[in-house]
Structure 1
Amino acid sequence: MIMAPSIGVPSKRPLEETLVKSPAVNGSAHQDYGHQRSKTRQRRSEGKAIPQALLNALYSESAAAKLWNVAYKALGSVEPPTLYPEYTDKKDFQYIYRALDFWTSGFFPGSLYLLLERQVRFSSTANSGVKPHPLQLQHLCQWWTVNLHQNATIKNTHDLGFMIAPWAMKAWSLHQDSQAYCSLVLAAYSLASRFDARVQSLRSWDVCYTKRYSYDDPSKDFLVIIDNMLNLDLLFWAAKHTGDNSLREIAIVHAKTSQKHHIRPDNTTYHVVNFDVETGLPKSKFTNQGYSDESCWARGQSWGILGFMQTYGWTQDPSFLDTARKLADLFVSKLPEDNVPYWDFDAPVEEASPRDTSAAMVTCCGLVLLYKALKDTEESIAAQHYLDIAMRILNGVVTNYMTPSTPRFKVDTSASTVPTYPENLSEEQQQHGMLTVTVENLQGGLTTGHSLGKYAETILTGATINNYEFAPRRWSDHGLVYADYYFMLLGNMLLEMGLVDVNDLDW
């Protein structure tokens, strides 16, 4: 049984030395990519071609313009953002914001960094359209993350991976950002402080309240949710970069515990397992966001697929690969005809039953990692099968749940002419125009500017945060920041794996 480590900066290498260490590539969806930059740019597409319509959606100018336009609104503020987009209202699909210490705060800047990565690593001379300059994007990324570094010290939640990793791992891999590195390491130790050697797991929630139950005494209850599998990536990353193997051991032990207690014999998943603090054994298993305690909440299943695939990528333990495959096969077997999952696979299906595009996109990322793990083995046919399913799910999402507005980048040249000396400077030597966004509004006219009023601010809709009958509040059928994040992440994963040729993209 692994014991909880003492938490602190590892002494195996000086911190200054680790700050300049070249990043290493592993199987994580958040892995470091920088040192393969030149190879990736030259790589041609592998495997069966991805339909052009899906490429047009994944790498659309509209998606980039929506991210840019939301981000740019904060640029004129006297201080960097302290509120972060989470979900949209149902009327106008405008973002509702949450405080910087809320668990979803890392996803929007994570999407900005994914957009920056496309510009820095995957841009092609053939993609010469109007777009933000990489330095502009980098500034926005940094502006939106200045106040997020402080989250690395939080020790009352398991969500450090969600809050820090989406943006900080990219800041490190793209720019060797030392502050991002330090925040990643600090966040990993904050997360590791929640490990309990008796339970052999990281505590997810300290307390939990619904209209049906209340858990308010951490000395009696030890709550672990399937979502926690996604935060292990942070521990593996920090272990690799600091040399502190105890972080890796905690991640593996937690994954083994979830493997044992969160997965039912039929390969569906429990959302929450409550362990006895003294014995380390489960006391109860229930839901906090699904239809019922014994139902299969769709996003919980997707967290399991991607989480176990990330863990497999770091460990190469075949049991984690096998678990991810079983969860994925179950997920696929429950899909409706249009391949967009309902919010819970066991909830009654009616005309107004909510879907969950966030579960769809998380699963797509997991399926692509399954393809990556199997494509060069004797199971290459199965690998292609998983990739094909991912594209079927993506097709269902973009066909039915991409928001309708199509903003595009434009250059405003009205203020580009300035007095010069000498007076006969060529056009190329004059100031360039300002980058703006143009969108067709509901009346069919064109609106231009950085703040375009009420058009859908997310790339996708059709997401469901929580539709549990006894939840304190129910949200469904809306845009959601992490649905968009995993949509963007999927696109970058396909580029990294050589499944998309950048010369075929119009961005």
Structure 2
Amino acid sequence: MPPSAMAAKRALEDRAKTITPQTDPIPQPLISALYAESAVLKIWTVAAKALGSVTPPALYPEYTGKDKSYVYRALDFWTSGFFPGSLYLLLERQIRYPSFYNRDSASDNGNPLPHRLLLQHLCQWWSANLHQNAAKRDTHDVGFMIAPWAIKAWELHRDPKAYGSLVLAAHSLASRFDKRVQSLRSWDVCHTKRYSFTDNSKDFLVIIDNMLNLDLLFWVARETGDTALYEIAVAHARTTQKHHIRADKSTCHVVNYHQDGTVKAKFTHQGYSDESCWSRGQSWGILGFMQTYEWTNDESFLQTARELADYFLEHLPEDSVPYWDFDAPVDASCPRDTSAGMVACCGLVLLYKALREREEETAAQHYLDSALRILDGTVSKFMTPSPAKFGVDLSETDLTTFPDNEPAKQPGTLTILPSKSTGATTRVANGASSFLKCPETILDAATVCNYEFASRRWADHGLVYADYYFLLLGNMLLDLGLVSR
């Protein structure tokens, strides 16, 4: 990274640590939801199914079916990094905010939580097979596959293999940069019932989602001093800024370029129409440009993020939970997208942080309040129930000892117990083949794709990256000191 940019970023980081929030406390119901034991339990219940397996997981959760249980995808699918990323976010809470984590997540009921070492084992177990994705050069999604867990693995316990995978993944991603287009290619192929692209010599497809993969390039550029990665990330952001954003500050999902860099066509792959504003695409833009601003301190990226955020907020319904597309006809069957809301919330919190650093207090507070409104609407309507809680099985803690009067016992076994409200009496041990049946995601009402010409449509379900950004939001608020530790 150029020395000036690196110095600016470190100065911003140092300044952020000295900022004392002047906001009213975050409402307790939102704190209780963000750091609920039930949220930890849902992630743990899915993760613990892999305990004792002969090799690490090869299939990864993506979305929930009609029974609210996860449907899994192959390890090279673009969403594979989010579930281990969620595990690492929980581990980060234990390591960086242990007093808060133990107090607010568990002690109200005196319940235990997964031990830090066991949680770290599951983090590494669930990511063990994902290192191979770092070498993939056939997709821009290598950032999503690697960064959510590998950056935390390095920052929290200096995992050298994770560091190596991050560096390799960044160079794999950078291999997709075209100097003529000044952009990273997103997809090599793309199919719907309406169109099909298969020839890279004729089409250069770029999606707004790709903004989220720039963080990987910036991170590795800082760690290794590779200025080329930094320059590629900035160039891609500027090209996206120029061609994906409409005059009214809504975003286009896909831009197809000629090989000389001129625009060939603009259309959607997951939204309502080519001219509509797909809500998650807009949220990818908000968070992506804010991350880019944090790395570069370039005012234009901050301004772009604000404009995208303002459009997003102006088009929210009364309850602040976005519909899947801001231009789709709204009726009883129109699906929401809680994942769009959670991604946007993370971007809004970064806007709050940036504007506080600039001493623009009123504007900063506006974006924080807006994030909390989206969060409130989401948890009020679409946070899934849980009939279970953590417990301890003490039945096998008495062992024969010498001397005979030895008072010590083995620790109990972490279990999942029915909540009192369920009226159930069966205790279910962690790792058992059967367990209390409850929705496996923290949030519901997400939408993968509802485009009418899509090869397949998914709507109104739980979604692994909705939960990931929900947990990330909680960690961001802790990091900014907006929640008491």
- Common fold: TM-score over 0.5: yes
Residue deviations 1:340-361, cap 9 Å, x none? 0000000000012100000000
Q: Is the CA contact (8 Å cut-off) linking 1:273 and 1:285 kept in structure 2?
A: yes
Tell whether the 8 Å contact from 1:494 to 1:500 is kept in structure 2 after alignment.
yes
Query: Does residue 135 of the first structure (1) align with residue 117 of the second (2)?
Result: yes
Corresponding position of 1:20: none
Number of the residue aligned with 1:89: 65
Distance 1:242 1:406 in 2: 47
Select 1:461's aligned residue among 444, 458, 462.
444
**1:218 equivalent in alignment to 2:200:** yes
Assess if the C-alpha contact under 8 Å between 1:46 and 1:499 holds in 2. Answer: no
Alignment partner of 1:75: what SS? Answer: coil
Query: Is residue 299 from structure 1 mapped to residue 274 from structure 2 by the alignment?
Result: no
Among 51, 54, 63, the residue aligned to 2:39: 63
* Deviation sequence 1:201-239 (CA, Å, 0-9, x none): 000000100000011111100000000000000000010
Which of these residues, 384, 397, 415, is aligned with residue 416 of structure 1? Answer: 397
1:296-337 superposed Cα distances (whole Å, 9 cap, x missing partner) = 000000000000000000000000000000000000000001
Q: C-alpha root-mean-square deviation of aligned residues, in Å?
A: 2.3
Q: Which has the higher contact order (CA 8 A, sep 6+)?
A: 1
**Matches of 1:409 and 1:120 in 2, distance apart?**
20
Deviation at 1:380, TM superposition (A): 1.1
**1:227-254: per-residue Cα shift (whole Å, max 9, x none)?**
0000000000010001010000000000
Query: Are the aligned partners of 2:257 and 2:264 in contact in 1 as well (CA < 8 Å)?
Result: yes
Question: 1:364, 1:490 within 8 Å by CA — same for their partners in 2?
Answer: yes
Measure how far apart 1:82 and its partner are.
0.4
- In the TM superposition, what is the alpha-carbon distance from 1:425 to its structure 2 partner? 2.3
Q: Which residue of 2 aligns with 1:205?
A: 187
How far is 1:404 from its partner? 1.4
Deviation string 1:373-418 (CA, Å, 9 cap, x unpaired) is 0013241110011000000000000000001124311111111111
1:331 equivalent to 2:312? Answer yes
**Pairwise mapping of residues 5-404 of structure 1 onto structure 2 (< 5 A)?**
47-90=23-66, 92-124=67-99, 127=103, 129=110, 130-277=112-259, 279-404=260-385
1:441 to 1:289, Cα distance in 2 relative to 1, 3 A: farther
Q: 2:98 aligns to what SS in structure 1?
A: coil
Residues 436/332 of structure 1: CA separation in 2 closer, same or farther (3 Å cut): same
Q: Is the 8 A contact 1:45 1:501 kept in 2?
A: no
Q: Is the 8 A contact 1:86 1:480 kept in 2?
A: yes
Match of 1:431 among 410, 421, 426: 410
Do the aligned residues in 2 keep the contact of 1:44 with 1:501 (CA within 8 Å)? no
- Aligned residue for 1:399, secondary structure, equals helix
Aligned with 1:435: secondary structure?
A: strand
- Structure showing the higher helix proportion among its residues: 2
SS in 2 for 1:436: strand
Instruction: Say if 1:439 and 1:480 are closer, same or farther in 2 by CA, change over 3 A.
Output: farther
Letter of the structure 2 residue corresponding to residue 328 of structure 1: A
Contact 1:172/1:178, CA 8 A, preserved across alignment: yes
> Which of 470, 478, 481 lines up with 2:464 in the alignment?
481
Name the TM-score, length of structure 1 as normaliser: 0.89
Q: In 1, distance between residues paired with 2:93 and 2:405? A: 38
Aligned partners of 2:388 and 2:436 also within 8 Å: no
Secondary structure at the counterpart of residue 420 of structure 1: coil
- Matched residue of 2:418: which SS? strand
* Counterpart Cα distance in 1 of 2:71 and 2:417: 23
In the alignment, the residues of structure 2 paired with residue 231 and residue 421 of structure 1 have an alpha-carbon distance, to the nearest angstrom, of 58
Secondary structure, aligned partner of 1:290: coil
| C-alpha deviation, 1:47, in angstroms | 2.4
Going from structure 1 to structure 2, the CA distance change for 1:361 and 1:173 (only over 3 Å counts) comes to same
Q: Number of residues paired by the alignment?
A: 469
> How many angstroms apart in 1 are the aligned matches of 2:465 and 2:9?
23
* Counterpart-to-counterpart distance in 1, 2:27 and 2:291: 26
**Counterparts of 2:148 and 2:324, CA distance in 1:** 24
- Aligned partners of 2:36, 2:244: CA distance in 1, in Å? 38
**What CA distance in whole angstroms lies between the structure 2 residues aligned with 1:438 and 1:380?**
46
How many angstroms does 1:445 deviate by? 1.4
Query: Quick one: distance in 2 between partners of 1:89 and 1:424?
Result: 54
Identity of aligned residues (%): 66
The 3 A distance-change label for structure 1 pair 289 and 235 is same
Which runs of at least 4 in structure 1 moved beyond 4 Å after TM superposition?
23-27, 42-46, 440-443
Quote the residue 2:429 is aligned against: 449
User: What is the CA distance between 1:453 and its match in structure 2?
Assistant: 4.5
Q: Please say if residues 66 and 407 of structure 1, whose CA atoms lie closer than 8 Å, have aligned partners that are also in contact.
A: no
User: Which of these residues, 381, 386, 404, is aligned with residue 405 of structure 1?
Assistant: 386
Cα contact 1:440–1:446 (8 A) shared by 2: no
Q: Which runs of 5+ in 2 are unaligned?
A: none
Q: 2: CA distance between counterparts of 1:274 and 1:87?
A: 29
Helix, strand or coil at the partner of 1:124: helix
Separation of aligned partners in 2, 1:154 and 1:186: 9
Distance in 2 of aligned mates of 1:133 and 1:43: 32
Provide closer, same or farther for how the CA distance between residues 411 and 270 of structure 1 changes in structure 2, counting only shifts above 3 A. same
**Partners in 1 of 2:461 and 2:157 — Cα distance?**
34
Does the C-alpha gap of structure 1 residues 75 and 25 become closer, same or farther in structure 2, counting only changes over 3 Å? Answer: farther
Answer yes or no: is the 8 Å Cα contact 2:58–2:75 preserved in 1: yes
